[in-house]
Amino acid sequence: MARFQAQTNAVIEEELADLRGRLGLRANQRADLLREIASLASWVVRQAEAGRRIEARRGRDVEALRNPTLDRLRERRNAGVVGRIALSDSEVERLAAVLDRGFSPTPALRKALSRLAATKRKPPKLRWRDGAA
């Protein structure tokens, strides 16, 4: 673990030094470098939290920013309580098939509907695995 961490730290240091040079900062401007990085990262995270996808564009050339952490943030937002559900073309095709079908409820749905229609519906009695009765 320590070796892995040492290697990781070395890689990060190298990347930071590279970034520092490209941003035109001197070796003693570490705080400025971190401030710049924090500012950029904060903007990126804010976009992902808003459910937005980040893309670099030049003419027809488009490159999307891909990162598992950002994907999780975006999914958390998109899978949350949303007012608008935007469907892709393939999802629209599948939806059309769903709405085209005649009514043929599955056995489980039929049972659920009949239970819901019952005047006295029985809630389940639970047994907790940690011993609470």
Residues at the site binding another protein, with contacts judged by CB under 8 A? 75-76, 79-101, 103, 105-106, 108-109, 112-113, 115-116, 122-130, 132-133
DSSP 8-state secondary structure symbol assigned to residue 35: H
Q: Which is nearer to another protein, 27 or 126 (CB)?
A: 126
H or E element in which residue 22 lies: helix 2-22
Distance CA 17, CA 8 (A): 14
Q: Which is nearer to another protein, 28 or 106 (CB)?
A: 106
CB of 133 to another protein, least distance (A): 5
Q: Which is nearer to another protein, 62 or 126 (CB)?
A: 126
Phi-psi region of 128 (alpha: psi -120 to 50; beta: other; left: phi over 0): beta
Number of Cβ within a 10 Å radius of residue 71: 13
CB of 8 to another protein, least distance (A): 25
